[in-house]
Amino acid sequence: MRSQDGRWTSWGAMAGVSRRARGPRRRQGALAALLLFGAVSLIPLAACGDGAGGYSDAGLADGAWPDGQVDAAWPPPREELAPPESYDCNAVGSPPERVSTLALGCFGDLGCEGLVVVAHRGLGYLAPQNTLSAMRAAVVMGVDMMELDVRLSSDGVPVVIHNAEVDATTDGTGEVVSKTLAELQALHVTYHEELVGDFSCERIPTFREALQLARGRIDLMVDLKQGAAEAALVIEEEGMVAQAVMLGSLSELEEARAAVADLRIMIRPGEQAEIQPLWDAFVPAPDVVHIDPGFDDPPTIELIHGLGAKVLMDLWTADANALILGDISQYSDAYEAGIDIGQCELAFLALWSVGRGAPP
């Protein structure tokens, strides 16, 4: 059943979502491109803390909520999604247990059914990006996997931060690689004032700290910026080879595999013709192939599945439609078209779209 404006599938229908015969993915036109641009402009305001505004200005049309809740705030208020003390600094000594109904390591198991939802840099809608609070928030909300970025400090310690400089997400300045671990962890993480909770304890985490928190709770997609061998060795030392997959360039992945032979890896071809050569470069074979919109067609998806890997795609356009139009259907559309793993900003909405959870 659809809402009055035809955009929102009912919760009953979403709870029954299953993968249908794989077919062409619905193409998005100029409107979707505009929505994506708008969402990418808005989402970091809640995640990064270096802008103004936020989600609260977006509205959902009358009739778009089930059960007559036509005036519900959209997106849902943060404090109604989960108690902040379950993931913020109050939870440091008692981290949440896994809520996701998918098995750990599902991202690399073709026999594991279900859309694997990846929270980009953690659940930035609830907590500062790439922090332990953002990971705990993802766990609390039932997210399957968290993407995080790894760089090296000047003394060679892998740390979790996206940008090459610390300016955007901390109260410091300068390049990550120019600072020791002690100097990096002396900085305070900054974040948008609309986030609800106590994040005063947050610093740039080490990759080891992130792995220790993730163990048994959430899988990790490691987007490598620096330190391939160093990051791979920490994954092995922490017993997290089965729970983490590394994304990097060909040379970075070769370096990582030279350090840890059975490291799980993800390749990212620029076009279909690059898939087989990249695949053949690794033994054991990659676990995941990251494709981009534009060659997410059935033959490409079938090729990757035939090789024995899962398909990951960024679902930024689905985020845009959810944020601006209140339409969460594109997350489940991607899964029904053959995408196995979806990386997004609003991961809890992707879960709702495939019947895993519902609004408070």
Per-residue pLDDT tens for 180-229? Answer: 999 999 999 999 999 999 999 999 999 999 999 999 999 999 999 999 99
* Residue 344 maps to a domain: yes
**Is 290 assigned a catalytic role?**
no
Asked if the model's pLDDT at residue 59 lies above 60, the reply is no
| Confidence at residue 13, expressed as pLDDT on a 0 to 100 scale | 32
Asked if the model's pLDDT at residue 76 lies above 50, the reply is yes
Mean pLDDT of 232-250: 98
Please, which pLDDT band fits residue 72 given cuts at 50, 70 and 90?
low
* Residue 4 maps to a domain: no
CATH code, domain carrying 267: 3.20.20.190
Mean pLDDT of 168-175: 98
Asked if the model's pLDDT at residue 4 lies above 70, the reply is no
Counting residues of the chain whose pLDDT is more than 70, the rounded percentage is 80
Cβ-contact 36, 324 below 8 angstroms: no
* Residue 16 maps to a domain: no
* Residue 313 maps to a domain: yes
State pTM to two decimals.
Answer: 0.83
Mean pLDDT of 241-254: 98
- Please identify which of the residues 120, 192, 290, 305 carries the catalytic annotation: 120
Cβ-contact 70, 151 below 8 angstroms: no
* Residue 20 maps to a domain: no
**Tokens in use for 139?**
């766990």
Q: Please state the φ and ψ torsions of residue 289, each to the nearest 5 degrees.
A: -120, 120
Note down the domain range covering 189: 28-353
Please, which pLDDT band fits residue 359 given cuts at 50, 70 and 90?
confident
| Confidence at residue 65, expressed as pLDDT on a 0 to 100 scale | 34
**Is 120 assigned a catalytic role?**
yes
Asked if the model's pLDDT at residue 47 lies above 80, the reply is no
Asked if the model's pLDDT at residue 143 lies above 70, the reply is yes
- Please identify which of the residues 162, 188, 192, 290 carries the catalytic annotation: 162
* Residue 10 maps to a domain: no
CA distance 351 to 332: 9
Total domain count, the chain:
1
Cβ-contact 145, 118 below 8 angstroms: yes
* Residue 33 maps to a domain: yes
